[in-house]
Amino acid sequence: MRIGIDARKLHDFGIGTYIRNLLRELARLDQQTEFVLLCRAEDVEAIHALGPNFRPVISNAGNYSIGEQFAIPWALKREGVTLFHAPHYVLPPLVHCRSVVTIHDCIHLMFPQYLPNRVALAYARGSIAMAARRATRVMTVSETSKTDIMRFFGTDPSKIDVIYNSYDERFGIEPNAEVVSRVRERYQLQDQFILYAGNVKPHKNLDRLLEAFHLVRNRGLKQLKLVMIGDDISKYASLRRAVHQHRLHKYVRFLGYLPEDTLAVMYRLASLFVFPSLYEGFGLPPLEAMASGTPVVTSNVSSLPEVTGDAAVLVNPYDPEAIADGIYRALTDEPLWLGMRRKGLARARQFSWEASIRRVREIYGEVANAPFALPGPAAPGPPAGVSHS
What's the whole-model pTM score?
Answer: 0.89
Per-residue pLDDT for the chain (389 aa), expressed as one digit of tens each?
999 999 999 988 778 889 999 999 999 999 999 999 999 999 999 999 999 999 999 999 888 788 999 999 999 999 999 999 999 999 999 999 999 999 999 998 888 877 778 888 888 899 899 999 999 999 999 999 999 999 999 999 999 999 999 998 889 999 999 999 999 999 999 999 999 998 888 889 999 999 999 999 999 999 999 999 987 665 677 888 888 888 888 999 988 888 889 999 999 999 999 999 999 999 999 999 999 999 999 999 999 999 999 999 999 999 999 999 999 999 999 999 999 999 999 999 999 999 999 999 999 999 998 665 555 554 444 565 455 55
Counting runs of H as helices and runs of E as strands, what totals does the chain give? 15, 13
Report the C-alpha gap between 174 and 293 in whole angstroms: 10
Q: Count the residues in the chain.
A: 389
Residue type, 83: L
Helix or strand holding residue 35 (H, E)? strand 34-39
**Cβ neighbours for 189, distance < 8 A, ≥ 6 positions apart:** 183, 225, 227, 269
Q: Where are the alpha helices (DSSP H) in the chain?
A: 15-29, 44-48, 66-78, 107-110, 118-134, 143-153, 177-186, 206-218, 237-245, 260-269, 284-291, 304-308, 320-332, 334-348, 353-368
